[in-house]
Structure 1
């Protein structure tokens, strides 16, 4: 009798979409003989040519940049790297940043609703502390990111379901090299400023035990981040 394939085995063998797209971009570079230092087609044209979404393309380009194949120049475009050989750094084997954002939107919106329903005074205090830390350190990337993580995990704990806390923590742990390179290229001061009131809105709704308001505020926040990182 054939043994059933375990879910984790499927996850380990299924190719990440951004890796598939990355391979197609490398093939296009070879086929069209795009030389080092030359510019690739614009993102919109390249996405159409390959038949993929802009977000999948952007993940693939970031992965190729980490591998030393291309160079992303803000405001100018994407160029084949001048390096004779790839740097060999590569991207981690985890999910792409837009995959993670989509999963977070699915999970954390519902978690925020549960937090609004179940949060105790102690839970609300923990969320407030994280918000105040983000506001205090918003100009310092590492401190702000740590406070942001604490904020979302405090909400997950307030939901009252340890399994969901584990899921939210797992998703945050997927913010690897691809995520940070994407953030480096597309994070803006406007986004940093706008996410501060976003977090306050989420806190206010949870503290008021407003389930619908908490879900809407979390959805608006994650949608804002996704729009900013995917716009071109």
Structure 2
């Protein structure tokens, strides 16, 4: 018969499972610090020895790391699915940036469609909160600030899709984007025309999500990333033209 005795679960195993679920769902993010041992034991309602046993197991699984004098952190290694060598290879070739945008178009279009259908009202409220911050556009807001809010907006949509594999893959992709591996996303926010266009595009995405218009949300995301691709190609072309112009200028100066 396919039955076996039921055994009580160790408290430490229950703690391990809870922390794993929080990491899997993207609630505990790479690099984030856990509360102190005393506070965490109180929150979980377990003894400190049970908590220590759980932390050791999670460290052995590569999910947590300890920093002397600083505490316990979610392992930074979880932030990227790409080896340093592969990330450096991406950075050396312009075509990787175009392929990256194509990948985002496919993945984020699907994520927006899923978020419109499957996201909870709270998920959509998070997206609205971030969009409201984008709209406020404080006078001293820099292109870096704009780019950070842009990333938060798009990640909130991925989170609202409730697909944990997509969540961690896209978080890895955004980490490479943040570090400038694919392109400097701040260039998108340096011209007022770009900023206005981008705001209109994000508004279209936001409004389709709140209306739970799945095809409309996907189309809005795809239209936005088509715009990003054109802007990036224009920027790459301008950089190539500038390099040629500098060669001409150097040549003219050599002739004088």
> 1:213 maps to which residue?
216
> 1:16 maps to which residue?
89
* SS across alignment from 2:202: helix
**1:28-56: CA deviations, max 9, x gaps?**
xxxxxxxxxxxxxxxxxxxxxxxxxxx54
Give yes or no for contact 1:100–1:174 (8 Å, CA) kept in 2: no
Give yes or no for contact 1:130–1:147 (8 Å, CA) kept in 2: yes
Calculate the TM-score normalised by the size of structure 1: 0.57
Gaps of 5+ in 1: 1-7, 22-54, 57-95
1:124 and 2:124 matched = yes
Calculate the TM-score normalised by the size of structure 2: 0.52
1:132, CA displacement in angstroms? Answer: 1.1
* SS across alignment from 2:212: coil
**CA spacing shift, 1:228–1:187, aligned 2, 3 Å:** farther
Give yes or no for contact 2:91–2:181 (8 Å, CA) kept in 1: no
Query: How large is the Cα RMSD of the aligned pairs?
Result: 3.0
Gaps of 5+ in 2: 1-80, 238-256
1:187, CA displacement in angstroms? Answer: 4.9
> 2:134 maps to which residue?
134
1:192 and 2:195 matched = yes
1:97, CA displacement in angstroms? Answer: 2.9
Alignment map for 1:56-135 (pairs within 5 Å): 56=95, 96-135=96-135
Task: Give the whole-Å Cα distance in 2 for the aligned partners of 1:147 and 1:9.
Answer: 24
Q: Return the index of the structure with the highest Cα Rg.
A: 2
Moved over 4 A (4+): 8-15, 178-183
1:113, CA displacement in angstroms? Answer: 0.5
